[in-house]
Structure 1
Amino acid sequence: MSLEEESDTERASNLLRQAMTIIKDLRPGFDLIKLKYKAPPNFNIPKSHLQCFGESVYCSGEDMLGKCNAGGSALERLGAVVGWSISTTRPLIFGAFPYNPILGETHHVSRGTLNVLLEQVSHHPPVAALHATDETHNIEMIWCHYLSPKYRGTSVETEMCGKRELKLLNHGETYVMNCPSLVFKFIPTKAFEWSGKVKIQCIETALTAEISYKGLSFLGRKSNSRAVNGSIFAQSFSIKNLCHIDGQWDRSVTMKYHNGNAKVIYDANEVISNLKTPVVVDPKGVKATESAKVWGEVSQGILSKDWKKAKKAKMAVEERQRELAKERESRKETWVPKHFKLSYSKENGWDCSPIQSTVPPAPIVVPI
């Protein structure tokens, strides 16, 4: 059977066979970043991981960020931030992966007055930085994002490391949060799922939300599939738990107060439906480092199912990166990110801070 005729199910099965071949001699806990595995084009979706990372911020059928800013009380705003955080965990296609971004790759997109800029600030290890600002609504986001995949015997668990900050400047509030882990399960069932605990904390209001993502059981039972539950509490209040959070991240999540009232803080149907494709409004403003330009020929090959073209174009991108790395090494130069400052410590890991205070409007726009 040719690659052109390969179905999604067959692609997933082929991926599983490749994965089992790679990891059969590994011990649980092995850091898979050390393998430096490169998926062939027929396992890629036609976009970069940097684009997928940015889409979780600017691709939404509902204005989740606006709800965060519009909350009438600190508790309402934190509930809205929890809903927005859940909206960044999107369904994934088993057996399909985005491209690994090249060093210095950027992704710059605007949606309304929200301007989003991402940069791949490190390649080994892979670290991505995000800065987004909305001067009209006085909102700022700063994220540092890097992966730590570990082999667990029957699955691969990828911890989404790095700090995420959402600043509601009109209220003088900064929300610091982490992200759930992504689990690639291949025994006894094949599935991608979000799992783990997320903590969202606002120092200014002394409020904290803790939520848990639960995936399938080992035997694949779906009773708790994609469940999200947790609570919001304040240690300074006599009543510690202020409300309970319960639902499923692919359906809806509700915040329930102690007085019996309830409010839907996340509706997947409204958030991830009717999404619109970004369009280029200023071709001359698109940088050579933009994800769509870097991977353009590879994506064309994948979309047309011309796998030879896709493979050749992907190898050309990767070979060019190796050449640039050798040139820098020969000149004893250290690559420096253009839009972010990058730092590392054993205690806190990688951290990124934007060089500019605001993100300018982008040449690529998501229609509203």
Structure 2
Amino acid sequence: MNQRYILFSDSNINFIILTCIQMQEIANSIVLTKPFTLRTDSDSDSEENYSAPNLLQRILSLLKNVRPGSDLALFQLPPLFNFPKSQLQCYGESVYSTSSDLLSKCNTGITPIERLISVVTCSISTTRPPIFGLAPYNPVLGETHHVSKGNLNVLLEQVAHHPAVSALHATDQKENVEMIWCQYPVAKFNGTSVEAQVHGKRRLKLLNHGETYEMNSPNLFIRILPVPGVDWVGNVDISCVETGLAAELCYISQSFFGFGGSRRVIKGKIIDSSTSKILYKVNGHWDSTVTLKDTNNGEERVIYDAREVISRLQTPSVKDAESVWQTESALIWSKLSQAILNKDWEKAREAKKCVEEKQREELRERESKGVTWVPKHFTISQSKEGDWDCLPIQKWVPDSPIVTL
């Protein structure tokens, strides 16, 4: 009887052991945190646990030498004011961290108006409750964030630094759906508040229907005095050239002084652009429920329930540590994130300084060689008016070694 033997030398065994150790080290180095979620009474692991005491006093001290009207693009926050994650991760979470598959519903709508309503719902779901006094890290040039959720693959890259332009490409090959974002916040200090205007364009393509929906983002408003608070404000326009249907949404905050009125209100309408006829009215609160009222028959229904969509969200996990890119946000900022989670502010300052200094060194090296940095996953362009746009290089986003449910 023939027998086959597999022989292992000491060198082979050592190689296998070293490989396993290296993979475990990489896995341990990746720090992934709970996504921004609708906080409920049952949430014990709240983002609020990241914050330090006396936050308002610390913020006032931090901004005492900043002049009103100043652009905060180059303003560096100490780790004490950071969430343990990058802005790229926050953008990505708003797309892949949902309790229901909203993108599929956009594609399966039978009529154009049903699909537009689903797109409106999907757009509202990307608005996540912010927390006063805390901000994510500013991504470094070339940083990426890559996550898969079922058939949805999401890839982000920091494609420019000044201004800080972030690009997002999300695809679901099964549903034949594609999402492309190019956006860059411009924050200004106004003495008693900070407003971050989110410039750029978001596109959602339903390829089975030959429809492209273009939309923008609301702006982030941070009120420091007299009553601290943070909210999303401004107008969001959603339009589809192919169908002539459009939606106009308005995010409304409390009064300037923070007293009276409802919080996190959203109002709007869905119109037929060809006739300017209002088909539906949108009303509600983006952090609770949003309703749609048919102007023809007065029927009203809930199209968005934040508690169902953005509560109890799961933290992504690493499926294949060896395949995680070295440019991954969760890897670049891992030491800083872990220090913040441990509330070790000295280590946090050292870790943040290390990442920022490495970025400066890479910039000096490129300048000395006369090399222009080129994004790996997107092509970028700028109009005469100064508006930025990004296009993905690949048609479909590949599967990621980082996954979420």
User: Shared topology, TM-score over 0.5?
Assistant: yes
Post-superposition shift, 1:222? 4.0
Q: Does 1:77 align with 2:115?
A: yes
- Paired position in structure 2 for 1:354: 392
Aligned counterpart for 1:16 among listed residues 34, 42, 60: 60
2:154 is the alignment partner of 1:111: no
In structure 2, relative to structure 1, the CA distance for the partners of 1:66 and 1:314 (3 Å cut) is same
Q: 5+ unaligned residues in a row in structure 2: which ranges?
A: 1-48
How far 1:93 moved relative to its partner? 1.3
Map residues 83-98 of structure 1 onto 2, 5 A cutoff: 83-98=121-136
TM-score, scaled to structure 2 = 0.85
Letter in 1 for 2:288: R
- Determine the structure 2 residue equivalent to 1:321: 359
Aligned ranges for residues 257-268 of structure 1 at < 5 Å? Answer: 257-258=294-295, 259-268=297-306
Instruction: Return closer, same or farther for 1:122/1:6 CA change in 2, 3 Å cut-off.
Output: closer
| Residue aligned with 1:162, SS | strand
The 1-side partners of 2:89 and 2:246 are apart by 30
**Residue 248 in structure 1 maps to residue 288 in structure 2:** no
> Does the aligned pair in 1 maintain the 2:145–2:155 contact within 8 Å?
yes
Counterpart amino acid of residue 11 in structure 1: L
Could you tell me how far 1:8 is from its partner in structure 2?
4.7
1:55 alignment partner, SS class: helix
Deviates more, 1:5-14 or 1:133-142: 5-14
Which residue number corresponds to residue 45 of structure 2? none
Deviation at 1:154, TM superposition (A): 2.8
Report the count of equivalent residues. 356
Shift of 1:235: 2.8
What is the deviation of 1:265?
1.5
Structure 2 residue corresponding to 1:32, chosen from 72, 80, 86: 72
Superposed CA RMSD: 1.6
Structure 1 runs of 4+ aligned residues shifted over 6 Å read: none
Structure 1, 347-356 or 163-172: larger mean CA deviation: 347-356
Q: Structure 2 vs 1, CA of residues 195 and 303 (structure 1 numbering), >3 Å: closer, same or farther?
A: same
Q: Quick one: distance in 2 between partners of 1:315 and 1:190?
A: 29
Matches within 5 A, 1:43-54: 43-54=81-92
SS of the residue 2:247 aligns to: strand
Distance 1:348 1:194 in 2: 24
8 Å CA contact 2:51–2:81 kept in 1: the answer is: no
Identity of aligned residues (%): 54
Structure 1 residue corresponding to 2:188, chosen from 150, 171, 179: 150
| TM-score of the aligned structures, taking structure 1 as reference length | 0.93
Amino acid aligned to 2:307: N
Are 1:171 and 2:215 counterparts? no
How far apart, CA to CA, are the structure 2 residues paired with 1:9 and 1:86? Answer: 32
Asked if structure 1 preserves the Cα contact closer than 8 Å seen for 2:147 and 2:154, the reply is yes
Q: Distance in 2 between matches of 1:260 and 1:11?
A: 47
Q: How many Å apart are 1:38 and its aligned residue?
A: 1.2
Once residues 285 and 39 of structure 1 are traced to their aligned partners in structure 2, the CA distance between those partners, rounded to angstroms, is 32
Deviates more, 1:215-224 or 1:203-212: 215-224
Residue identity matched to 2:388: W
